[in-house]
Amino acid sequence: MSEPVIDREAMGRLAKALGFILSADHPTTVALRTASESGSEKDIKAARTLFLRLKPGDRRAALSMLDGE
């Protein structure tokens, strides 16, 4: 099963969700916000790596918030 592709807009929404769940200044939240704004491959890769390092419960909660929109 392949990983879902998250576009720049979704990264911005994911950053907002993580800002609520973790904090606005959490490194993953900041990285997702930066990747959403810049769109550079380097920023996207860094944000994805940090997102995958989160606790599974935090990842699920953030993704569930996106599904609810």
Domain presence at residue 62: yes
For the stretch 5-53, pLDDT in tens is 678 888 999 999 999 999 999 999 999 999 999 999 999 999 999 999 9
Range of the domain at 53: 8-67
Give the Cβ contact number of residue 66 at 10 Å.
13
* Cβ proximity of 29 and 23 under 8 Å: yes
Domain presence at residue 34: yes
Q: What is the pTM of this model?
A: 0.86
Domain presence at residue 3: no
pLDDT for 4 equals 59
Distance CA 19, CA 42 (A): 21
Domain presence at residue 2: no
pLDDT for 3 equals 56
pLDDT band at 66 (very low <50, low <70, confident <90, very high): confident
The number of domains in the chain is 1
